Structure 1
Amino acid sequence: MKSLIKNFGMAVLGGAVVLGTYKIAFEPESQIAAQQSQQVANEVQTPVLPVKNVNYTSSIEGIDFTEAAEKTVHAVVHVKNTTIARGGMSIADLMYGRTPYRQAVGTGSGVIITGDGYIVTNNHVIENAQSLEVTLNNNKTYKAELVGTEPNSDIALLKIEADEELPYVVFGDSNQAKIGEWVLAVGNPFNLTSTVTAGIISAKGRDLDERDRKMQSFIQTDAAVNPGNSGGALVNQNGELIGINTAIASRTGSYVGYSFAVPSNNARKIIEDLMEFGFVQKGMLGISGTDLNGNIADEMGIDESEGIYVAKVVENSGAAKANLKNGDIIKSIDGLKMKTFADLTGYISSKNPGDIVYVNYLRNGVQKQAQIEITKNNTVLIPQIEMEVRNLFKEDQKIFDTKKGVRITRTTGELSRYDMRDYIITKVNDYEITNIDDLQEILREVNPRETLLIQMKNSRGEVERFRYTID
């Protein structure tokens, strides 16, 4: 159990979006909170996943979903996740100091994306798995290996070994998907075998929770999606994958009209990074800011009511080197209109460090263009300690009066109740932390259920310590 020596007494972060896996076997059926997901478009070099771009009609007249369903249904699989969870404690357990555990089984969906058995699903479908099992539409069952995950985007990559070439879905270009376009959602809701539902794209670049500083960018659709659909396919009329179904907005835990999918361009970038590097390369444009609307524009005395207002430019970033400045208004990137910050973060998340993007922006009402190199994002989510951290900027070094440490940018899980953004981590178990690499190296050596002593420093120069037990 995680414990804090010091109660930071800070604001509670709230809000969740429902979907998740469908729990069966040793647990009662329940609503499961989904984890998300960001993002849009990239052309990654190696390895190359099959991609197909075809023009099609979005008119209801003459629409036939049978071909798209036939292409997809055999490539969507049932994923079973077996975990070991703490059970309810009896009086005898308390008396003898025992901690009871029980087996729990959750199910969701996955999409075969290569003939040799790579499968994409949601991170929350396979989270904390002791074992993973995949069942194909022909009822053949395989043990699955977890290749890697990207929790921020709620994407995970699995691999199965089959004796024959497997049916798979090719990637479409989610940047080209249009609002009003017909789509199919394919998955395994309520532990049923492959189920197909139809709808239209209701919105793009949807950020589900403005309080969540990760700024996700989802495709919104009205195709019916329910618990168990997590990790399944969202495809266009040609059967091309344009999204991974991830979440629904619901107070009941079941579908009430809208569902959300991670755009395929973002999922493809994550998958190819996991295949090639074993981790996800994260790039950034190098700005922070806000969406423009009429009210904000009036407050700032700006004539524009659409675009991204640049509030700050990160030092040594591509944006800084391209001479973007505070007050600039970004209108488009690579020809794609930027209406919300989720549009921007979604698109940039599909890029790798070193990629070049072309940014159209306004400065004092004058149209300008900049060629910006995407630079490495030094912000890293570290699930073991439920924190997102980054290396110190020069500004941080002045504020905290040190050149060593990592700054906490966000907390997750149980620690999300505490706002630790005014803290840097300076030591873990008496080992000095200079940068993220130091922190990750120390955490690689810790054992499950080991308790860490984490030393932090705030901007007032005060040193605080707390104990954190690794799950």
Structure 2
Amino acid sequence: MKNMKTIGLTLLTAFIGGAVAIGAYKLFEDKSIGNLSLDERQKVYFANNPSKIVSSAGALDFTAAAAAVSPGVVHVRTTYNRNNASSGRGGGDPFGDMFEDFFGRRVRPQSNTPSMGKGSGVIVTDDGYIMTNNHVVDNADKIEVILTDKRVLSAKVIGKDKMTDLALIKVEANNLPVVKLGNSDDVKVGEWVLAVGYPLTLESTVTAGIVSAKSRQIGILAQDNIDPNNYDPENPPASSSIESFIQTDAVINRGNSGGALVNANGELIGINSAIASQSGVYEGYGFAIPVNLAKKVMDDFIKFGEVKRGYIGVTFQELNSDVAKQLNLKEINGLYVNSTVDGGAAAAAGIKKGDIIKKLNGEDALTSAELQERIGRMRPGDKVNLTVLRDGSLKNFTLTLKGASETKGASSSSSAEASDILNSLGATFTPVKDATKKRLGISSGVEVTSVAAGKLFDMYEVPRGTVITSINGRSVNNMDQVNAALSSTKGNMLSFQGIGPDGGQFRFTFPIK
């Protein structure tokens, strides 16, 4: 009997509570929305739209994640002999002249002594496999790994990949602390993250921030010296570089390169690789390679000794309102197919110039970074489904990815005449005087003397007074060289390097029609 009374009292309480809640909501509903306070409006809104936000960090206590990850992030110390050290600055090292965008860069030698460099790495197996960046270890004559317990171990390179700026190195040791691999597809903008590494001259350092953006493509992996007359499909041009960075405002600096970006659970979601900076030190944003892409590259190194990369076999450009206007299209989202590669997967499946790629395997693929990263996780022989917009209708195509050696290179239709490209740029050039070259410390260059409104240079805000030192990786000193460099354009992608009117160095790549 007592239990029955208890149950009855509980039900009555629940009923009254529910009635009060309904009454309060009804009161808000009956009042004019304009008379509600901001707090009341919030209550009404979330009564109809329950929040699904789940904090990734709880009470913002990162101590457990930091303690779990830090032992597995190591200091990578590199040594270069005189020849390799000097070639690393604008010579053999494609990352040697990144205007402080990359960190972990070696120091230029001031004497005959070997040059030293530093970076970070992430232990991913207890027997000594370590993820890092290609630019941290590229051209190094000696690589050492310093553990948090102060042990110094010699390391050897298992594999390097310039297209993703990833490398796998190995030390001979057992029972090492391991950083748990996470899933970068699950990363959300606004999520708390930690950056762990060895910045500047500091020891192991942990900083916190949030994910600012995903699938960022910043053009930093563009290769300098592309010779279209000696195109090697095994070493594709800059437009084939895979950039889909996780952007974060966690503080990272030179030396962090190759270190860990982890979530609040201590799971690796990215390999820190670059910073957006005019000074070479932290100015607000860092960029990490998604771990899902890194896992595939590392697996290839271990299984095959090289990266097995599958290709769709198209050149494309990302649509927006400006590009759509140039192409006379109504569609402003998706990837416009400029051309297909002879013998490539897309051509074999029936993809045509003018198609607009909308989905990959049923998921939206609206940016080039998203498409390239997801394809970058696949190998030759893998099948993918592309959904394209053609003549106003969506069509599905099943493609079998092919390796670079299976294709014949970009079709001739992807190359444009120099005069047409020059017209689309809307710029005029004049040779840079020798005195100006000396003052700027350059050996080549043409100055932009005018920019036409509505043309590409105007759209991309390239001002008068800009000095262009190279186009498509070719040095330019006069209009003949400019035309020759423009004629070398492949895949409808143009790359420029130079110095702005404010003295700042730049490098950018953009598509042309």
User: d(CA) in 2 for partners of 1:104 and 1:228?
Assistant: 15
Match of 1:129 among 125, 137, 140: 140
On the 8 A contact 2:340/2:411 being kept in 1, the answer is no
| SS, match of residue 256 in structure 1 | coil
| SS, match of residue 388 in structure 2 | strand
Q: Percent identity?
A: 43
User: d(CA) in 1 for partners of 2:75 and 2:286?
Assistant: 19
Partner deviation per Cα, 1:164-190 (whole Å, 9 max, x = no partner)? 311111222212212222111110011
Partner deviation per Cα, 1:128-167 (whole Å, 9 max, x = no partner)? 21211111111121111111211221111111111x3111
Greater share of strand: 1
| SS, match of residue 194 in structure 2 | strand
The answer for the alignment partner of 2:205 in structure 1 is: 195
TM-score w.r.t. the length of structure 2 is 0.60
Instruction: Answer 1 or 2: higher relative contact order, Cα 8 Å, separation at least 6.
Output: 1
User: d(CA) in 1 for partners of 2:179 and 2:359?
Assistant: 31
Amino acid aligned to 2:338? A
Matched, 1:225 2:222: no
By how many angstroms is 1:279 displaced?
Answer: 1.0
Amino acid aligned to 1:76? V
Partner deviation per Cα, 1:386-422 (whole Å, 9 max, x = no partner)? xxxx8557759xx9xxxxxxxxxxxx9x965477796
User: d(CA) in 1 for partners of 2:118 and 2:355?
Assistant: 47
The answer for the alignment partner of 1:310 in structure 2 is: 337
Matched, 1:180 2:187: no
Judging changes above 3 Å, is the alpha-carbon distance between structure 1 residues 215 and 140 closer, same or farther for their aligned structure 2 residues?
closer
Amino acid aligned to 2:210? I
By how many angstroms is 1:359 displaced?
Answer: 1.7
Match of 1:371 among 398, 407, 410: 398
By how many angstroms is 1:288 displaced?
Answer: 0.8
Matched, 1:142 2:153: yes
Structure 1 spans left out of the alignment, 5+ residues = 1-54, 89-98, 380-389, 400-411, 424-471
By how many angstroms is 1:81 displaced?
Answer: 0.3
Q: How does 1:350-389 map to 2 (within 5 A)?
A: 350-378=377-405
Amino acid aligned to 2:365? M
Partner deviation per Cα, 1:113-134 (whole Å, 9 max, x = no partner)? 1111000111111122121111
User: d(CA) in 2 for partners of 1:318 and 1:131?
Assistant: 41
Matched, 1:296 2:323: yes
User: d(CA) in 2 for partners of 1:391 and 1:288?
Assistant: 14
| SS, match of residue 69 in structure 1 | helix
User: d(CA) in 2 for partners of 1:114 and 1:60?
Assistant: 26
User: d(CA) in 1 for partners of 2:193 and 2:292?
Assistant: 16
Judging changes above 3 Å, is the alpha-carbon distance between structure 1 residues 145 and 345 closer, same or farther for their aligned structure 2 residues?
same
By how many angstroms is 1:215 displaced?
Answer: 5.3
Matched, 1:109 2:123: no
| SS, match of residue 289 in structure 1 | strand
| SS, match of residue 167 in structure 1 | coil
Judging changes above 3 Å, is the alpha-carbon distance between structure 1 residues 378 and 101 closer, same or farther for their aligned structure 2 residues?
farther
Amino acid aligned to 1:342? A
Amino acid aligned to 1:135? I
Match of 1:168 among 174, 178, 181: 178
Judging changes above 3 Å, is the alpha-carbon distance between structure 1 residues 176 and 378 closer, same or farther for their aligned structure 2 residues?
farther
User: d(CA) in 1 for partners of 2:132 and 2:361?
Assistant: 29
On the 8 A contact 2:57/2:264 being kept in 1, the answer is no
User: d(CA) in 1 for partners of 2:278 and 2:198?
Assistant: 21
Q: How does 1:306-455 map to 2 (within 5 A)?
A: 306-378=333-405, 417=475
By how many angstroms is 1:233 displaced?
Answer: 0.5
Judging changes above 3 Å, is the alpha-carbon distance between structure 1 residues 225 and 78 closer, same or farther for their aligned structure 2 residues?
same
Matched, 1:84 2:88: no
On the 8 A contact 2:312/2:345 being kept in 1, the answer is yes
The answer for the alignment partner of 1:287 in structure 2 is: 314
Amino acid aligned to 2:207? T
The answer for the alignment partner of 1:444 in structure 2 is: none
On the 8 A contact 1:56/1:237 being kept in 2, the answer is no
On the 8 A contact 2:342/2:408 being kept in 1, the answer is no
Judging changes above 3 Å, is the alpha-carbon distance between structure 1 residues 180 and 376 closer, same or farther for their aligned structure 2 residues?
same
| SS, match of residue 208 in structure 2 | strand
User: d(CA) in 1 for partners of 2:348 and 2:274?
Assistant: 38
CA RMSD of aligned residues (A): 3.1
User: d(CA) in 1 for partners of 2:260 and 2:58?
Assistant: 24
User: d(CA) in 1 for partners of 2:159 and 2:474?
Assistant: 24
TM-score w.r.t. the length of structure 1 is 0.65
Amino acid aligned to 2:67? E
Matched, 1:240 2:267: yes
Amino acid aligned to 2:316? G
Judging changes above 3 Å, is the alpha-carbon distance between structure 1 residues 179 and 155 closer, same or farther for their aligned structure 2 residues?
same
Judging changes above 3 Å, is the alpha-carbon distance between structure 1 residues 421 and 349 closer, same or farther for their aligned structure 2 residues?
farther
Judging changes above 3 Å, is the alpha-carbon distance between structure 1 residues 60 and 318 closer, same or farther for their aligned structure 2 residues?
same
Judging changes above 3 Å, is the alpha-carbon distance between structure 1 residues 309 and 395 closer, same or farther for their aligned structure 2 residues?
closer
